[in-house]
Amino acid sequence: MIVKIASALFGLPMLVLMALFAWGALRSGPEAETDSTADQPAAILSEQLSDGLIEAQVYMTGDLNYRIEVQFSPDPTSNIPSSMPPDVVLSMTTMHMDGFDQPLELVGPGAWRSKGKIPMAGMWIMNVGYGDEFAEVLFAAE
């Protein structure tokens, strides 16, 4: 009888300890804190121009830093090769200052990327296009 009581007294804490370990392994842990705003575009542009489809995304990556990704899919009748970069100009909506051109890095057929820092916080316009034909999108730089 004493052996059964001793086994129960020893087994009960072990059962509780195993249950705690199992509960800890099965429950979901705390969510990792990530900066999802860097993964979400601040602005998305998609417009059919006469020579093809122009698409662009602006990502604000923190401290007024940005990344711009541009894709151009020329129409079969287009005279613009997919290796020719579009013009990308950023300008502030409330200030009367000239916009500044973005140097683009070719990252694939018809795909370019640019990184940099916006001079000041506020609302900005990005113009993307070829020649006299541009698409534009408004975004906030914070």
Q: For 37-63, write each residue's pLDDT tens digit.
A: 458 999 999 999 999 999 999 999 999
Residue 2 has pLDDT above 90, yes or no: no
The H or E element containing residue 4 is helix 2-26
How far is Cα 115 from Cα 32, in angstroms, rounded to an integer?
A: 27
To the nearest whole number, what is the mean pLDDT of the chain?
83
Determine the topology of domain 37-141 in CATH: Immunoglobulin-like (2.60.40)
Nearest-CA neighbor of 124 among 50, 68, 55, 48?
Answer: 68
What pLDDT does residue 101 have? 81
What does pTM read for this prediction?
A: 0.70
pLDDT in tens, 109-140: 999 999 999 999 999 999 999 999 999 999 99
> Which pLDDT belongs to residue 29?
46
Q: Residue 33's pLDDT is what? A: 42
Domain ranges of the chain: 37-141
Report how far residue 54's alpha carbon sits from residue 66's, in angstroms, rounded to the nearest whole number: 19
The predicted pLDDT at position 133 comes to 95
Average pLDDT (23-49) is 68
Write out the two tokens for 7. Answer: 């086994």
